[in-house]
């Protein structure tokens, strides 16, 4: 009975994926359904947000474009002064009538000229103002400056009251006037109470835009010259409420409230809030910065309850209900069919994996045997071709085979997954004093070489060491050999640069013909590594530079796994 119990337990453990799969399918279906509903809802909200932002941007652009239009009118007025040595009151009135301010530019309170009155000009300017009913000029400021509004149209009763007004004597206006004067550009003032509205019962917040006018009709190049040649300002006063209610009616029409602030939002900096708007809290909102005339406005938009919404709000609920129904149906079907299907799939997958691994092993073995035989054939042919007698041929051939075997030993030790560059160099130089002996120096960071690369470099190091022992730095008692390398950073393809440098040997003379060793080092190695090999023969000692690209980190993982399995 105990045995039967344990057998049943083992069977349940073995078959737990089959038994659990319907539950997994149900859980996955539920997750996918919920995720899909969330994605749909997020998509709907994003579409609504994009639509909201489009309306906000359209409204914001409308404000900016309107202010730029008014600035263009002021520039036209400045052009009138630039084109004439003296603009009379009639000429300025004709200009203002021609541009039809009230009809074409709603929201503007008027267009005027504030003159900078220099010492000696008081009588002339006082006469101009007296013609309009202004009894006297304002007093000069402590710094000697005197400005007065001499033209302002349309000349209604409110505008007539401010003729002769010295705007430069008020800090907010003065800051904008000085900024326009020094930059030569139009300047928007901060929030002010217009002089025209000083006696109004419910005055609106206002602001002004100033366009500087200079003597000579052009903007001087330096600040000092601009201050000295300033003649005055063509300017326009605005009631913020009149302007913005005219520019932003479309925002109200689509269910948006707005609030416009001079600078950072605060009660003191509020220029205009949409009429009848509740406090701007809750709901979808957006804040935009608008820079005009060297000054920033902050405009906050918020959707009201009657804001038009998209018509697909029900889609998420429909998707959720449909998804839950489909999950139940699929889970029931999976419960009936999953056992046989999973068993068949596992069997097929195991067979395909085994065949693929066997085919890969055979292909790799065939490739490596061919490469080794080709290398041995080339070594034999070259040794016989350049050998002087049987003994030298045999010695040369055996030495080169031993060098080849050393590289193969390193690869075999690590199941042909590759070899360490430092170990490979040390193995080839061991007969001459080992790595980092008195005559040998090896330095460089850890580099792991692919099998074919290790074999090719092993043969090259063998030829370099043999030539150094015969003719170079290792042929006397004082010579030294330095082998160094550097690797580029990163996890992708990395450049590797190896430098073999001989020091202190006999004077070097470049050989007249290229032997097998040189061909192995320069031609064959460059071809095998798909890199560049430079073998130089300066008198101080042979220098060989090998440069090629290492594969990305992890690119040989599949081969390492194959070697481990073998």
Boundaries of every domain in the chain: 2-59+315-349, 87-247, 387-565
Residue 117 burial (C-beta neighbours within 10 Å; 0-12, 13-18, 19+): buried
| Fold agreement (87-247, 387-565) | no
- Please, where are the H alpha helices in 430-511? 451-470
pLDDT tens-digit series, residues 208-222? 999 999 998 899 999
DSSP structural state of residue 508: P
Most confident of 114-123, 137-146, 183-192: 183-192
Confidence band for 496, pLDDT divided at 50, 70 and 90? very high
**Maximum separation of any 2 CA atoms in the chain, in Å:** 129
DSSP structural state of residue 298: E
Residue 407 has pLDDT above 60, yes or no: no
CA dihedral over 380, 386, 389, 391, signed as positive or negative: negative
Residue 329 has pLDDT above 60, yes or no: yes
pLDDT at residue number 18? 67
pLDDT-wise least confident of 91-95, 128-132, 464-468: 128-132
Contact predicate 521/545, CB 8 Å: no
Q: Percentage of the chain surpassing pLDDT 70?
A: 76
* Nearest to 230, CA basis, from 251, 209, 216: 216
Q: What is the mean pLDDT of residues 259-283?
A: 79
Q: Report which of residues 335 and 506 the model is more confident about.
A: 506
The fold adopted by the segment(s) 387-565 is: Heat Shock Protein 90 (3.30.565)
pLDDT at residue number 566? 36
Q: Report pTM.
A: 0.52
Q: What is the mean pLDDT of residues 68-73?
A: 92
pLDDT tens-digit series, residues 14-67? 556 666 777 887 888 888 888 877 887 788 778 888 888 888 888 888 889 989
What is the distance between the alpha carbons of residues 150 and 90, in angstroms, rounded to a whole number? 12
pLDDT-wise least confident of 314-318, 357-361, 481-485: 357-361
Most confident of 96-105, 247-256, 411-420, 548-557: 96-105
pLDDT at residue number 559? 40
Residue 399 has pLDDT above 60, yes or no: yes
Beta bridge mates, 548: 496
pLDDT-wise least confident of 81-85, 174-178, 376-380: 376-380
Contact predicate 96/108, CB 8 Å: no
Most confident of 169-178, 271-280, 344-353: 169-178
Q: How far, CA to CA in Å, does 171 sit from each of 168, 175, 190, 293, 372?
A: 7, 6, 10, 17, 92
Helix (H, G, I), strand (E, B) or coil at 280: coil
Tokens of residue 456, six digits: 């090719």
pLDDT tens-digit series, residues 438-477? 788 899 998 988 888 888 888 888 888 888 888 888 888 8
Q: What is the mean pLDDT of residues 300-305?
A: 80
pLDDT at residue number 564? 38
Of the candidate CATH numbers 3.30.70.20, 3.30.450.350, 3.40.50.300, 3.30.365.10, the domain formed by 87-247 belongs to: 3.30.450.350
Q: Report which of residues 275 and 103 the model is more confident about.
A: 103
pLDDT at residue number 543? 94
Q: What is the mean pLDDT of residues 163-174?
A: 92
Beta bridge mates, 292: 295
């Amino acid at each position: 009975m105990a045995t039967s119990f344990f057998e049943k337990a083992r069977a349940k453990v073995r078959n737990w994926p089959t038994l659990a799969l319907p539950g997994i399918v149900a859980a996955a279906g539920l997750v996918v359904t919920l995720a899909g509903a969330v994605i749909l809802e997020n998509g709907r909200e994003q579409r609504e947000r994009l639509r909201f932002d489009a309306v906000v941007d359209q409204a914001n652009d409308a404000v900016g474009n309107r202010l730029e239009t008014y600035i263009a009118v002021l520039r036209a007025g400045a052009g009138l002064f630039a084109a004439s040595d003296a603009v009379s009151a009639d000429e300025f009135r004709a200009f203002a009538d021609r541009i039809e301010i009230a009809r074409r530019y709603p929201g503007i309170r008027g267009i005027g000229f504030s003159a900078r009155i220099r010492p000696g000009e008081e009588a002339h300017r006082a006469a101009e103002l007296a013609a309009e009913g202004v009894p006297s000029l304002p007093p000069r400021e402590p710094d000697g400056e005197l400005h007065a509004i001499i033209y302002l149209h349309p000349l209604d009763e409110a505008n007539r009251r401010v003729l002769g007004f010295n705007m430069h004597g008020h800090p907010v206006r003065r800051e904008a006037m000085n900024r326009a004067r020094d930059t030569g550009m139009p300047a928007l003032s901060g929030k002010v109470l217009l002089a025209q509205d000083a006696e109004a019962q419910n005055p609106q917040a206002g602001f002004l835009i100033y366009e500087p006018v200079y003597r000579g009709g052009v903007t001087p190049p330096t600040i000092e010259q601009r201050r000295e040649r300033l003649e005055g300002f063509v300017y326009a006063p605005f009631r913020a409420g009149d302007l913005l209610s005219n520019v932003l009616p479309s925002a109200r029409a689509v269910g948006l409230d707005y609030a416009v602030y001079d600078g950072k939002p605060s009660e003191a900096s509020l220029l205009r809030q949409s009429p009848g708007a509740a406090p701007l809290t809750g709901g979808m909102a957006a804040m935009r910065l608008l820079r005009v005339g060297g000054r920033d406005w902050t405009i906050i938009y918020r959707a009201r309850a009657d804001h038009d919404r998209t018509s697909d709000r029900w889609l998420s609920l429909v998707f959720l209900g449909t998804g839950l129904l489909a999950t139940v149906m699929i889970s029931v079907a999976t419960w009936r069919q999953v056992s046989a299907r999973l068993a068949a799939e596992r069997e097929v997958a195991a067979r395909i994996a085994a065949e693929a691994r066997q085919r890969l092993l055979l292909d790799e073995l065939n490739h490596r045997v061919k490469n080794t035989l080709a290398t041995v054939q080339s070594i034999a042919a070259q040794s016989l071709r350049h050998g002087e007698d049987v003994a030298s041929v045999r010695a040369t051939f055996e030495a080169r085979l031993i060098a080849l075997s050393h590289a193969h030993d390193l690869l075999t030790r690590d199941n042909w997954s590759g070899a360490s560059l430092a170990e490979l160099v040390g193995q080839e130089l061991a007969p001459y004093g080992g790595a980092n002996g008195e005559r040998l120096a090896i330095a460089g960071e850890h580099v792991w070489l692919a099998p074919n690369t290790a074999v090719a470099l092993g043969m090259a190091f063998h030829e370099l060491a043999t030539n150094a022992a015969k003719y170079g730095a290792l042929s006397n008692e004082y010579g030294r050999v330095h082998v160094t390398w550097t690797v580029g950073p990163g996890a992708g393809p990395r450049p590797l640069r190896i430098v073999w440098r001989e020091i202190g040997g006999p004077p070097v003379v470049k050989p007249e013909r290229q032997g097998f060793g040189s061909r192995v080092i320069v031609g064959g190695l460059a071809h095998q590594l798909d890199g560049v090999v430079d073998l130089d023969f300066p008198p101080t000692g042979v220098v060989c530079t090998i440069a090629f690209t290492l594969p990305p980190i992890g690119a040989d993982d599949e081969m390492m796994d194959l070697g481990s399995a073998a």
